[in-house]
Structure 1
Amino acid sequence: MTVRRDVSMTLLREVTERPLDPGYAEAAARKARGEAPMQPVWRRVVVVVLAAVLGMGSVWAARELRAPQESTTQARTLLMTEIAERGERREAMLADNAATTAQIQTLQQQGLEGADDAVVERLALLGVGAGTAAVSGPGVVVTLDDSAEAQEGLPGSEQGYVLDRDLQVVTNELWSGGAEAVAINGHRLTTLSAIRSAGRAILADLAPLARPYVVEAIGDPTELQESLARSSAGAHLALLRDTYGITVDIRREDRLELPASPVRILRYAQALEGEG
């Protein structure tokens, strides 16, 4: 008896040589000869009715799933109300802080009446550096905003968000370039300010910042722009714009007005007795 060499591949030969199951092949042949049995009318009606019922059930289920639940709606409403109340409270506290700061400045000016002009000028310069005095003058404005894809929340657009370190790079370079005062979205920065992130939000001295992020710096506009262009900050901004689609705009302004910092922490050093 001769044994085929591919006897171990019987199943594979059946699949390649007879891809159609014999039962299906026989049914197809009967249908081609016109011998296929006709389905009863009642059976076809039942199939149509079942299909309609299943379709309506699917539509109803999808609508119920998409409809917001009452508990979810109530929780969202409560959260939005609490956010609005906290926002109003924050604005009221900021206004009260600003009024108190104005009173402090008035008392300081009254206390310095009759003092030496050199001392008054020295205190004014220290107030500018410490951020305790409002300032105005020419400077530059650097605006950063999330990419269009990130604003729409599209998948894979996470790198299109402005991060805290991006603002850190810009502000540090502005300070290094000779800026006398810097603010982000109207929030004055000092030597004690911190820019950090909390989840997706960016905070400056624990105050939340909203996009777009507008960094204002008072100083010589030409020197500040050249400093940004020559430094690593310029390359960083170009990377954000060209690679991640983040909006970067740098412009000169003849006059900027920056408020005093709302954060005032008094720190001083005192020499110990006997120490020279």
Structure 2
Amino acid sequence: MRPARVLTLGVFALAGLIFFTSFDTAKGTNIRTDASLLKLSDLIQERSHKNQELDASNGAVRDDVDRLAERDNGSTKAQDEKLKRLEAESGTEKLRGKAISVTLDDAPPNATAKLPGYPQPQPNDLVIHQQDLQAVVNALWSGGAKGIKVMDQRLVSTSAVRCVGNTLLLQGRVYSPPYKITAVGDPGKLKKAVAASHAIQNLMLYVNAYGLGWKVEDDGTVTLPGYSGTVDLHYAKPVK
């Protein structure tokens, strides 16, 4: 058999295998719109909304408990003052003061290198990553922030800023970019800490080269919400 005929038969055999595999995977459905492939995304969104409702309910119950405790708890004035200081430090109470905000966003999907000498971007170069959000939060804490809010949620000692794909997962709720981080504190010191962060300086290379969204603004006087979720530790134990 001639080599050309053998090659032709091989191509047809490979094409048949691909068609069979596609049919077996799709089972007669459109792979792009098959509902079974969307279940995970739907479940995440459903749980996110449910967690938001539970947070609101938990916050209302906590307010009721606080009011009942203030009515007659048998504590001394010194104990009450100590409790208020601890509540302020824990982030469970509202916090009002001067603030700045940092907003991060993905670059346009068709972005190209804007500066000479830079390679054309890969997909990972065009999105905000977990390390970028963590860098901003850490810089704001180091700049003396009295309280920080990511999107609409207050951060506490047990908060974890994590990304799943190109979405932010924070305290059981899911967010898409742009991501806004608000910090109450001395605006000058907060901005200085952000500018001095080595991790943020590295991020700025991608901002300037590929057009990632980056904005630092004075927010004037704002009120951060108190954290309303659970403060129990599930995977760690406090040091005694």
When normalised by structure 1's length, the TM-score is: 0.61
Query: Could you list the per-position Cα deviations for residues 192-250 of structure 1 after superposition, in whole angstroms to 9, with x for gaps in the alignment?
Result: 21122333332223432321110011111111112222332541342231133211100
User: What is the match of residue 84 of structure 2?
Assistant: 124
For 1:20-59, what aligned pairs fall within 5 Å after superposition?
Answer: none
Within the alignment, does 1:243 sit opposite 2:209 as a pair?
yes
User: What is the match of residue 15 of structure 2?
Assistant: none
Q: Which one of 40, 63, 76 corresponds to residue 102 of structure 1?
A: 63
Larger Rg: 1
Name the CA distance, whole Å, in 1 between partners of 2:149 and 2:72. Answer: 29
The unaligned stretches of length 5 or more in structure 1 are 1-68, 271-276
Within the alignment, does 1:198 sit opposite 2:182 as a pair?
no
Q: Which one of 147, 154, 159 corresponds to residue 188 of structure 1?
A: 154
Contact 2:163 2:169 in 1 (8 A): yes
The unaligned stretches of length 5 or more in structure 2 are 1-27, 112-120
User: What is the match of residue 124 of structure 2?
Assistant: 158
- Give the structure with the larger helix fraction: 1
Q: Give 1:110 shift.
A: 2.8
How many residue pairs get aligned? The number is 200
Q: Give 1:100 shift.
A: 1.7
Alpha-carbon distance change, 238 to 130 in structure 1, aligned in 2, over 3 angstroms: same
Name the CA distance, whole Å, in 2 between partners of 1:133 and 1:119. Answer: 17
Aligned Cα RMSD in Å?
3.2
Structure number with greater CO (CA < 8 Å, separation at least 6) is 2
Query: Could you list the per-position Cα deviations for residues 130-164 of structure 1 after superposition, in whole angstroms to 9, with x for gaps in the alignment?
Result: 1111212111100001111279xxx8332111011
Q: Which one of 221, 225, 230 corresponds to residue 263 of structure 1?
A: 230
User: What is the match of residue 101 of structure 2?
Assistant: 141
Matched-pair identity in %:
29
Name the CA distance, whole Å, in 1 between partners of 2:206 and 2:66. Answer: 41
Contact 1:132 1:264 in 2 (8 A): no
SS of aligned partner of 1:139:
strand
Alpha-carbon distance change, 113 to 250 in structure 1, aligned in 2, over 3 angstroms: farther
Q: Give 1:97 shift.
A: 1.8
* Superposition misfits of 4+ residues, deviation over 4 angstroms: 69-74, 80-88, 111-114, 266-270
Contact 1:150 1:158 in 2 (8 A): no
Alpha-carbon distance change, 111 to 201 in structure 1, aligned in 2, over 3 angstroms: farther
SS of aligned partner of 1:214:
strand
Name the CA distance, whole Å, in 2 between partners of 1:194 and 1:83. Answer: 17
The AA in structure 1 aligned to 2:177 is R
The AA in structure 1 aligned to 2:163 is S
Name the CA distance, whole Å, in 1 between partners of 2:204 and 2:191. Answer: 14
When normalised by structure 2's length, the TM-score is: 0.69
